[in-house]
Amino acid sequence: MKVLVVSDDEQIRNEAEFGFPTGVEISTASDSREASLRMKTEVPNVLIVDIRTGSAGGFGLLRDMSQRATQHGIPVLMLVERAQDEWLARQAGASRVRIQPIESSELVAETLSLIS
């Protein structure tokens, strides 16, 4: 199983890298542009996308994914900062939305539930 974590927050990337059980392959990207490039060669089973991903942002990444056949339908856990952003995240295509901060164990459990 492959998980791509897209966040400009080093703490979120680190929690994901070390929080998942053995056998889950974690890759990270610090912004949506880097994530888009990475997904051209490796398609993850699930994405964790922080709303604050620099460049085009998390919403832009989800919009771009919806237009690519190989990326359309990949489950996405979007991390937002305010409850008001939840509706926007769902409209952009997020499968699940969580308000930050989020505990590492919750991040892992939410992500794994998207692909089980």
pLDDT tens for 42-83 read: 999 999 999 877 666 888 899 888 888 888 889 999 999 999
Burial of 55 (0-12, 13-18, 19+ CB in 10 A): middle
CA distance 98 to 80: 6
Percentage of the chain exceeding pLDDT 70: 97
E strands, 31-95, are 46-50, 76-80
Q: How far is CA 30 from the centre of its chain?
A: 11
CATH code, 2-113: 3.40.50.2300
Pair 48, 111: CB distance under 8 Å: yes
